[in-house]
């Protein structure tokens, strides 16, 4: 299988590569449109700030490339948020592939810390992305912004409110959590994506 | 706001984190008692992988002999760790600049922890946050309760006292963009008599970012206390894990029986 990881100025790319290597899969890290378009599957990672991440994509015209992809695409963390319509993080217009808005958690000191850091449970699991994943499994999160729930939600998580832990529209999948850092559960979700 | 507070507690299923800490010297794991005596407790990569399998939620590596010539060795170790374990990990020890941070994050660390350098130049916190995101900046505070009843910040591994009070520094470092606080009570560290509950509760209740409690744990009850009374978001320990006085699966079963949310 020909797997491409989109290279742009956004953090955790090596973590994703390491996770894939641990489950025995090689991937190309690339910002070349032709390579991305011809890949069987595409992973769109991200850590950092939405506005500068969008600018980095636009600089290489990758925003147009991603919107036109037909193969399965998995956005991770900020990658997922960029698939959405709009983020409150620096009032950023995102790719608009999944018509969902991204909002900021409101901190409440010792009761609700922001960012959410750590392991939380995912529920209401839908789609093959969660094959053989039990309801209530723990996944690792680091984020201050979340996607609102709607009909594109394929997993929910609760942190002060219920938000979309994963999204799907057509061939585009997104997970808010770091599947590449989520122990055996995360490894299985990555494998499930590769088997879609 | 009491009813709203309760509602928020009920509406989060975020687990309390258990974090083994590996002190590294010359590529090996060591742990000091009261920051002095060191005992060898194994290979860091193997130990980290074993902890990950047992259910550690995260691992912290502190290079206690970090010097310029050792920096490259540390980066190589970080690279091996990143390729081996499937949970997040933090690296610290002697980090003094954005360049140091970039090397470690580039080698695969998820977060870095800084202490003395952040205190001496708080703009380092905002520089790292701006370049790599707040989520990767864990600011460590070593603090000591003194005769006047106040907690003071100490630097250089506990060797240098400052006039700064812990609660004031905690608020400042949050404003500078820190993502988490690693809070160590020097009075409790190495004693195995329990965490500094009042201090932890005070700091955790006064900042909007997670607080990792460190120093003093000797039993499973101590972990329960620091989550329930100390309001810590995570708890860090070293020797009780390294010398198998507490096994992580047993600890999590115990905490779960106390109605504390943990990842099992």
- Domain ranges for chain A: 3-195
- Is B63 among the catalytic positions? no
CA nearest to B64, candidates B139, B169, B129, B156: B156
Coil, strand or helix at A144: coil
Residues 145-204 of B with CB under 8 A from A: 179-180, 204
**Which residues of chain A neighbour B209 with C-beta distances below 8 Å?**
113-115
Q: Which residue has the higher pLDDT, B43 or B76?
A: B76
Tell me the three-class secondary structure of chain B, residue by residue. CHHHHHHHHHCECCCCEEEEEEEEECCEEEEEECCCEEEECCCHHHHHHHHHHHCCCCEEEEECCCCHHHHHHHHHHHHHHHHHCCCCEEEECCCCCHHHHHHHHHCCCCEEEECHHHHHCCHHHHHHHHHHCHHHEEEEEEEEECCCCCEEEEEHHHCEEEEEEHHHHHHHHHHCCCCEEEEEECCCCCCCCCCCHHHHHHHHHHCCCCEEEECCCCCHHHHHHHHHCCCCCEEEECHHHHCCCCCHHHHHHHHHHCCCCCCC
pLDDT value for B81: 96
Contact B108 A14 (CB under 8 A): yes
**Residue A113 is nearest to which of B9, B133, B209, comparing CB atoms?**
B209
B6 touches chain A (CB under 8 A): no
- Quote the ipTM score: 0.90
Instruction: Round to the nearest angstrom and report the end-to-end CA distance of chain A.
Output: 12
Which residue of chain B is at minimal alpha-carbon distance from A182? B87
pLDDT value for B28: 80
**Which residues of chain B neighbour A143 with C-beta distances below 8 Å?**
135
Count of CB atoms situated within 10 Å of the CB of A85: 15
pLDDT value for B157: 87
* Confidence band for B33, pLDDT divided at 50, 70 and 90: very low
* Angle between helix B248-257 and B220-228 (nearest 10): 50
B252 touches chain A (CB under 8 A): no
The residue of A140, A180, A185, A190 whose CB has the most chain B CBs within 10 angstroms, and thus the best one to mutate to test that interface, is: A140
pLDDT value for B5: 46
pLDDT value for B38: 42
- Of B61-70, B140-149, B161-170, the range with the lowest mean pLDDT is B61-70
pLDDT value for B9: 46
The residue of A53, A124, A142 whose CB has the most chain B CBs within 10 angstroms, and thus the best one to mutate to test that interface, is: A142
* Confidence band for B34, pLDDT divided at 50, 70 and 90: very low
Q: What is the mean pLDDT of residues B181-190?
A: 96
Indicate if the pLDDT at residue B3 is higher than 70: no
CB A83 within 8 A of CB A95: yes
CA distance A122 to B197: 31
Which residue's structure tokens are 């905002």?
B126
**Which residues of chain B neighbour A21 with C-beta distances below 8 Å?**
83
**Which residues of chain A neighbour B7 with C-beta distances below 8 Å?**
none
- What is the share, in percent, of chain A residues with pLDDT greater than 90? 85
Residues 120-149 of B with CB under 8 A from A: 132-136
Catalytic residues of A: 77, 178, 180
Indicate if the pLDDT at residue B160 is higher than 50: yes
CATH topology of domain A3-195: Rossmann fold (3.40.50)
**Which residues of chain B neighbour A78 with C-beta distances below 8 Å?**
none
Contact A108 B82 (CB under 8 A): no
Indicate if the pLDDT at residue B71 is higher than 80: no
CB B242 within 8 A of CB B260: no
B82 touches chain A (CB under 8 A): yes
* pLDDT tens, position by position, A76-110: 999 999 999 999 999 999 999 999 999 999 877 65
Highest mean pLDDT among B7-16, B72-81, B200-209: B200-209
**Residue A121 is nearest to which of B13, B88, B106, comparing CB atoms?**
B13
The residue of A29, A78, A109, A118 whose CB has the most chain B CBs within 10 angstroms, and thus the best one to mutate to test that interface, is: A118
Contact B83 A22 (CB under 8 A): yes
The CATH superfamily of B17-257 is: Aldolase class I (3.20.20.70)
Bond before A115 cis per omega within 30 degrees: yes
pLDDT value for B230: 97
B11 touches chain A (CB under 8 A): yes
Q: What is the mean pLDDT of residues A132-149?
A: 96
Highest mean pLDDT among A50-54, B69-73, B220-224: B220-224
The mean of the pLDDT values for chain B is 89
* Confidence band for A11, pLDDT divided at 50, 70 and 90: low
Indicate if the pLDDT at residue B216 is higher than 80: yes
* pLDDT tens, position by position, B119-130: 999 999 999 998
Q: What is the mean pLDDT of residues A27-44?
A: 96
**Which residues of chain A neighbour B205 with C-beta distances below 8 Å?**
109-110
pLDDT value for B228: 96
Provide the sign of the torsion angle of the four alpha carbons B217, B223, B228, B231, taken in this order: positive
CA distance B216 to B196: 8
Q: Which residue has the higher pLDDT, B36 or B160?
A: B160
* Confidence band for A153, pLDDT divided at 50, 70 and 90: very high
CB A46 within 8 A of CB B139: no
Domain boundaries, chain B: 17-257
Q: What is the mean pLDDT of residues A124-142?
A: 97
Indicate if the pLDDT at residue B169 is higher than 50: yes
Buried/exposed code over A100-118 (b: 16+ C-beta within 10 A; e: otherwise): bebbebebbebbbbbbbbb
């Amino acid at each position: 299988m020909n797997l491409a990881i989109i290279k742009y100025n956004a953090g955790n790319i090596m973590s994703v590569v390491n996770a894939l290597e641990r489950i025995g899969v090689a991937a190309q890290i690339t910002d070349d449109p032709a390579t991305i378009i011809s890949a069987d599957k595409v992973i769109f990672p991200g850590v950092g700030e939405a506005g500068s991440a969008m600018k980095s994509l636009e600089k290489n015209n990758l925003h147009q490339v991603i919107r036109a992809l037909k193969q399965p695409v998995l956005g991770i963390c900020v990658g997922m948020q960029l698939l959405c319509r709009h983020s409150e993080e620096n009032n950023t217009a995102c790719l608009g592939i999944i018509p969902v808005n991204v909002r900021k958690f409101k901190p409440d000191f010792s009761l609700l810390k922001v960012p959410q850091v750590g392991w939380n449970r995912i529920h209401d699991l839908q789609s093959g992305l969660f094959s053989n994943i039990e309801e209530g499994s723990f996944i690792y999160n680091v984020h201050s912004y979340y996607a609102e729930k709607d009909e594109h939600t394929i997993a929910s998580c609760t942190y002060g409110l219920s938000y979309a832990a994963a999204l799907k529209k057509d061939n585009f999948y997104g997970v808010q959590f770091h599947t590449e850092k989520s122990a055996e559960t995360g490894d299985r979700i990555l494998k499930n994506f590769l088997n879609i | 706001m009491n009813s709203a507070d309760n509602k928020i507690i009920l509406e989060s299923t975020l687990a309390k984190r258990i974090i083994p800490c590996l002190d590294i010297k010359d590529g090996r794991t060591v742990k000091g008692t009261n920051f002095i005596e060191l005992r060898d407790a194994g290979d860091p990569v193997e130990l980290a992988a074993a902890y990950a399998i047992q259910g550690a939620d995260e691992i912290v590596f502190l290079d206690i002999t970090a010097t310029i010539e050792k920096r490259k060795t540390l980066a190589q170790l970080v690279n091996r760790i990143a390729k081996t374990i499937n949970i997040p990990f933090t690296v610290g020890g002697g980090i003094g600049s954005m360049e140091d941070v970039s090397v470690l994050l580039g080698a695969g660390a998820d977060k870095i922890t800084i202490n003395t350098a952040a205190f001496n130049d708080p703009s380092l916190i905002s520089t790292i946050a701006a370049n790599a995101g707040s989520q990767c900046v864990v600011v460590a505070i070593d603090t000591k309760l003194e005769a006047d009843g106040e907690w003071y910040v100490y630097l250089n591994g506990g060797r240098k006292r400052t006039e700064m009070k812990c609660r004031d520094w905690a608020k400042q470092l949050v404003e500078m963009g820190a993502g988490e606080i690693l809070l160590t009570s020097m009075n409790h560290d190495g004693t195995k008599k329990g965490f500094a509950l009042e201090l932890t509760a005070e700091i955790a209740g006064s900042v909007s970012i997670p607080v990792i409690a460190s120093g003093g744990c000797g039993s499973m009850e101590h972990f329960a206390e620091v989550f329930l009374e100390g309001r810590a978001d995570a708890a860090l320990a070293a020797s009780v894990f390294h010398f198998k006085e507490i096994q992580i699966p047993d600890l999590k079963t115990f905490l779960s029986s106390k109605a504390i949310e943990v990842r099992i």
